[in-house]
């Protein structure tokens, strides 16, 4: 995306080798926690949610954290993601690099739709009990 003129900001550890690789690629190379994490999610127009193929992930904590914080999520399409969120209504998904690029451009240019989807994603998290508190309460009830 950076090579195609889209500004990309990357947070988290382990990205030092990517610093100064592209003027559109801003590597923060530091983790974010708590309120800073939520603020970064809300500051981004599009939050990308990639999965670790080596772990065979179909969902990650970011899959819920991004929408729960009220951020717009564009994530890899998996069966599990589709179980958590309605595609195009509560989150947006992609199957290929080409589709990723197309959807990033589309939603960067459409503030209204992007904000409606982000709001619906947050509402889904609340309604479906995706919070850690709700999950823990459910586990304790089962025990």
Q: Where are the domains of the chain?
A: 32-142
> Residue 76 forms beta bridges with which residues?
94
Predicted confidence (pLDDT) at residue 132 exceeds the cutoff of 80: no
Q: What is the pLDDT of residue 17?
A: 93
Closest among 120, 122, 95, 94 to 106, alpha carbons compared? 94
Cα(118)–Cα(121) distance, integer angstroms:
5
Q: Kindly report, residue by residue over 34-77, the tens digit of the pLDDT.
A: 999 999 999 999 999 999 888 888 999 999 999 999 999 999 99
- Decide the pairing of beta strands 8-10 and 25-27: parallel
Confidence of residue 138 (pLDDT cuts 50, 70, 90): confident
Q: Kindly report the backbone phi and psi dihedral angles of residue 44, in degrees, each rounded to the nearest multiple of 5, phi listed first.
A: -85, 140
Q: In the numeric block, which tokens belong to residue 85? A: 């969120």
| 10 contacts 26 by C-beta, under 8 angstroms | yes
Q: What is the pTM of this model?
A: 0.91
Q: Which CATH class is domain 32-142?
A: alpha beta
């Amino acid at each position: 995306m950076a090579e195609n003129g889209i500004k990309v900001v990357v947070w988290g550890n382990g990205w030092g080798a990517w610093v100064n690789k592209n003027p559109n690629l801003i590597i923060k190379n530091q983790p974010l926690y708590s309120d800073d994490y939520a603020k970064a999610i809300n500051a981004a127009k599009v939050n990308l949610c990639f999965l670790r193929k080596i772990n065979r992930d179909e969902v990650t904590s970011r899959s819920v954290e991004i929408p729960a914080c009220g951020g717009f999520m564009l994530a890899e399409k998996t069966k599990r993601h589709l179980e958590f969120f309605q595609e195009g209504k509560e989150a947006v998904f992609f199957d290929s690099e080409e589709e990723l690029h197309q959807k990033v451009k589309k939603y960067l240019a459409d503030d209204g739709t992007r904000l409606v989807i982000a709001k619906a994603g947050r509402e889904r998290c609340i309604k479906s009990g995706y919070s850690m508190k709700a999950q823990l309460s459910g586990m304790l009830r089962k025990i």
